Amino acid sequence: MSEEKSLNFLEEIVEEDIATGKNRGRVLTRFPPEPNGYLHIGHAKSICLNFGLALKYGGKTNLRFDDTNPSKEETEYVDSIKADVKWLGFDWANELYASDYFDQLYEFAVTLIKKGLAYVDDSTAEEIAAQKGTPTEPGTPNQYRSRSVEENLGLFADMKAGKYPDGAKVLRAKVDLAAPNMHLRDPLMYRIKHTHHHRTGDKWCIYPMYDFAHGQSDAIEEITHSICTLEFIPHRDLYNWFIEQLEIFPSKQYEFARLNLNYTVMSKRKLLQLVEEKYVEDWDDPRMPTISGLRRRGYTPASIRDFCDRIGVAKRENMIDVSLLEFCIREDLNKTAWRRMAVLDPIKMIITNYPEGQTETMFSENNPEVEGGEGGRELPFSNELWIEREDFMEEPPKKFFRLGVGLMARLKSAYIVKCDSFVKDADGNVTEIYCTHIPESKSGNDTSGIHVKGTIHWISVPHAKTAEVRLYDRLFQVENPSNEDGDFKEYLNPNSLQIIPKAYIEADLADAISGKGYQFIRKGYFTLDKHSTAEKLVFNRTVTLKDGWVKKG
* Coil, helix or strand at residue 527: strand
Question: What are the residues facing 470 on neighbouring strands?
Answer: 499, 540
Contacts of 68 (CB under 8 A, 6+ apart): 98, 99, 207, 208, 209, 210, 213
Residues 423 and 374 sit within 8 Å (Cβ to Cβ): no
Q: Output the smallest distance, CB 369 to RNA, in A.
A: 6
- Enumerate the β-bridge partners of residue 261: 320
CB of 547 to RNA, least distance (A): 5
Q: In this structure, are residues 361 and 378 in contact, taking their beta carbons and an 8 Å threshold?
A: yes
DSSP state of 451: -
Residues 6 or more apart whose Cβ sits within 8 Å of residue 491? 476, 477, 478, 481, 484
Letters for 16-45 (x = contact with RNA by CB under 7 A, - = none) are ----------------x-x-----------
Based on the shown chain and the rule CB under 7 A, indicate whether residue 312 belongs to the binding site for RNA. Answer: yes
Burial 464-499 (b: 16+ CB within 10 A, else e): beebbbbbbbbbbbbbbbeeeeeebeebbbeebbee
Identify the active-site residue in 34, 255, 326, 432: 34
Q: Considering only residues 352 through 371, tell me which ones interact with RNA, judged by CB under 7 A.
A: 368-369
Residue 334 sits in the site that holds RNA (CB under 7 A): yes
Respond yes or no: is residue 268 known to be catalytic: yes
Q: Given the rule CB under 7 A, which of 41-49, 117-125, 370-378, 484-492 is the region that contacts RNA?
A: 117-125
Shortest separation between residue 413's beta carbon and RNA, angstroms:
5
Q: Please tell me whether residue 80 binds RNA under the rule CB under 7 A.
A: no
Residues 460-479 that bind RNA (CB under 7 A): none
> Of residues 336-355, which lie at the interface with RNA (CB under 7 A)?
339
In the DSSP assignment, the letter for residue 304 is H
User: Side chain identity at 82, as an amino acid letter?
Assistant: K
Question: 41 vs 285, which CB is nearer to RNA?
Answer: 41
- CB atoms near residue 371 (< 10 Å): 7
Query: Cβ of residue 197: shortest distance to RNA, in angstroms?
Result: 11
Stretch that binds RNA, among 46-54, 131-139, 197-205, 417-425 (CB under 7 A): 131-139
Out of 111, 318, 436, 493, point to the residue binding RNA (CB under 7 A): 318
Tell me which H or E stretch contains 331: helix 322-336
Return the residues of window 145-204 that contact RNA according to CB under 7 A. Answer: 166-170, 180-183, 188, 191-193
Q: Are 61 and 52 in contact (CB under 8 A)?
A: no
**Cα–Cα separations (whole angstroms), residue 202 to 161, 163, 341:** 11, 14, 57
Interface residue with RNA, options 30, 40, 132, 340 (CB under 7 A): 132
The CA–CA distances, whole Å, from 228 to 84, 258, 369 equal 19, 9, 40
Please count the other Cβ atoms lying within 10 Å of the Cβ belonging to residue 272: 15
The set of residues, in sequence order, having a beta carbon less than 8 Å from that of 398 and lying 6+ positions away, is: none
373 counts as binding RNA under rule CB under 7 A: no
Q: How many helices (H) and strands (E) does the chain have?
A: 12, 25
| 547 touches RNA (CB under 7 A) | yes
Residue window 87-116: x/- pattern of binding to RNA, with contact defined by CB under 7 A: ------------------------------
Contact between residue 379 and residue 341 where contact means Cβ atoms under 8 Å apart: yes
Considering only residues 108, 232, 354, 504, which one is a binding residue for RNA as defined by CB under 7 A?
Answer: 232
CB 412 within 8 A of CB 454: no
Using CB under 7 A, pick the residue from 455, 460, 527, 542 that binds RNA.
Answer: 455
Nearer to RNA, 309 or 490 (CB): 309
The residue among 285 and 392 lying less far from RNA, judged by its C-beta, is 392
Residue at 112: amino acid letter: L
In whole angstroms, give the CA distance from residue 40 to residue 204.
Answer: 30
Count of Cβ atoms closer than 10 Å to residue 550 Cβ: 6
Does 123 participate in binding RNA (rule CB under 7 A)?
Answer: yes
Residue 64 interacts with RNA (CB under 7 A)? no
User: Residues 23, 46, 61, 69: which binds RNA (CB under 7 A)?
Assistant: 69
Other CB atoms within 10 A of residue 178 CB: 12
- Residue 533 beta carbon to RNA: minimum distance, rounded to whole angstroms: 27
Q: How far apart are CA 87 and CA 101, in angstroms?
A: 28
Among 155, 175, 209, 294, binds RNA (CB under 7 A): 209
**Strands annotated E in 43-123:** 60-65, 95-97, 118-121
Least gap, CB of 493 to RNA (angstroms) = 19
Instruction: Give, as ranges, the residues between 503 and 542 that touch RNA (CB under 7 A).
Output: 519, 521-522
Choose the stretch contacting RNA; rule: CB under 7 A; options: 153-161, 270-278, 448-456, 526-534.
448-456
Please state whether 407 falls in left (phi above 0), alpha (psi between -120 and 50) or beta: beta
Among 162, 234, 355, 406, binds RNA (CB under 7 A): 234
Nearer to RNA, 4 or 247 (CB): 4
How far is residue 322's CA from residue 332's CA, in Å, rounded to a whole number? Answer: 16
List the catalytic residue out of 64, 160, 172, 268: 268
Q: How far is the CB of 54 from RNA (least distance, A)?
A: 19
Minimum distance between the CB of residue 201 and RNA, rounded to whole angstroms?
17
- When binding is defined by CB under 7 A, the residue of 124, 431, 447, 498 that contacts RNA is 124
Taking CB under 7 A as the rule, does residue 443 contact RNA? yes
Burial of 150 (0-12, 13-18, 19+ CB in 10 A): exposed
Q: Which of 104, 125, 375, 490 binds RNA (CB under 7 A)?
A: 125
By CB under 7 A, tell whether 136 contacts RNA. yes
366, 400 in Cβ contact below 8 A?
A: no
Site size for RNA, by CB under 7 A? 89
The interface region with RNA, picked from 82-90, 372-380, 393-401, 504-512 by CB under 7 A, is: 393-401
> Which range, of 140-148, 241-249, 378-386, 545-553, touches RNA by CB under 7 A?
545-553
The residues in 250-289 that bind RNA, with binding defined as CB under 7 A, are 257
- Please, what is the minimum distance in Å from the beta carbon of residue 425 to RNA? 25
**Active-site residue list:** 34, 258, 268
